[in-house]
Chain A
Amino acid sequence: MGPLAPNELISENTNFLLAFFIGIAFGWVLESSGFSSSRKLAGIFYGYDAVVLKVFFTAAITAMLGLLFMSLFGWIDLSLVYVNPTYLSSAIVGGVVMGVGFIMGGFCPGTSFCGAAIGKIDAMVFITGLFIGVYGFAFTYGWWEKLYLANYLGEPKVSEKLGMSDGLFGLFMILAALGMFIVAEWAEKKFPREEY
């Protein structure tokens, strides 16, 4: 059955239309969770607001479990679902650069569009920066190409690498998330906060 587009059960245009509706839901959930506010997002790094951690990990676990169950029921063919490739060097260096951007800018790309949608000028400026950064990468790509392609490991799953089943890894991830949620709830009580 699923995924619908790779199985050619829906046309390309239907897929794009559904992308628009999925995007509306994505933007709605991000905004109503407070992800349109940079000070709320940055709260995770100072302990005064852990909304990012809670939403992010709950979402990852929900989607992961959903995919595992749908696969179990034969509703989705996981071999047709895109698994991000692992280029070890660029995943780490790119992630570090993004981390610096996150603590300086207070947004990530998705949340900045959300913030801009409700009138946050800092989010609009951040988006301007995004374009400059992507253009910058495009024009200097030659300098980074080696790093960009280094240490390609294919499309490994973490569970494979750790030698355990997807389900068992999922269980550990849930336990790890619960542990982080307990710490997050404690931190929010310990550090003063106000609603932004």
Chain B
Amino acid sequence: MSNNTKTRKVRKYLNPYLGGVLLGLVLLAANFVAGRGLGASGAVKSVVATTIRAVDKDAVNTNPFMAEYAESHSGNPMKSWLVFEMLGVVVGGFLSGAVAGRLKLKVEHSPKITSRRRLVFALAGGVLFGFGSQLGRGCTSGSALSGMAVLSMGGFITMMAIFGTAFALAYFFRRNWI
């Protein structure tokens, strides 16, 4: 679109309060349409449940996690609201990045650490976040944000536990970020 790519500037981020209002309206729309909030880790759980079932047809009877999952989700795990929503997130994120000129394959990290260190920590953080989201019945989106919007006590507690812990440990991981 730009005829002079050399001087093409990366567009600035949205004003955070405006972004917050828009995100709130998206969350409101989700509740109005589906009677439930947004989520992210639930979609990962659906993929995991699908693959476990594909490998082991008997998993619902032998694996208590799958039994618990089957109890709360009938039918095909991939035919879930959150799976379609997360497909949308990838599309929406890509479109926004494309419009703003932010599409770039890279490892983002503090200049004080190597890419390798960043990736090791990203992997470990992902493992913990994935595990915690299952134990806590949802992540920052599904449990904390969506839970807070419907005034769920569990949502507020999970929110405080996530941010409180990250704040408390920030000092020990400062080299990774600042």
A residues near B, CB below 8 A? 2-6, 10, 15-34, 36-40, 42-46, 48, 50-51, 54-64, 66-67, 70, 75-76, 78, 80-88, 90-123, 125-139, 141-142, 144-145, 147-148, 153, 155-159, 161, 166, 169, 181, 195-196
Contact = CB atoms under 8 A, between A and B. Distances in A.
B132 A95 contact: yes
Given A20-B84, A98-B133, A142-B64, 11 more contacts: A20-B91, A59-B24, A82-B35, A83-B150, A90-B136, A104-B125, A106-B177, A123-B122, A129-B129, A131-B47, A133-B130
B147 to A, nearest CB: 4
Interface in B30-71: 30-41, 44-45, 47-49, 52, 63-66, 68
B84 to A, nearest CB: 4
Contact of A58 (B24, B84, B106, B160): B24
A57 B163 CA distance: 12
Contact of B141 (A45, A94, A108): A108
B92 A26 contact: yes
A134 B47 CA distance: 10
Contacts, number: 534
Which label, helix, strand, loop or mixed, suits the secondary structure of the B interface?
helix
A129 B124 contact: yes
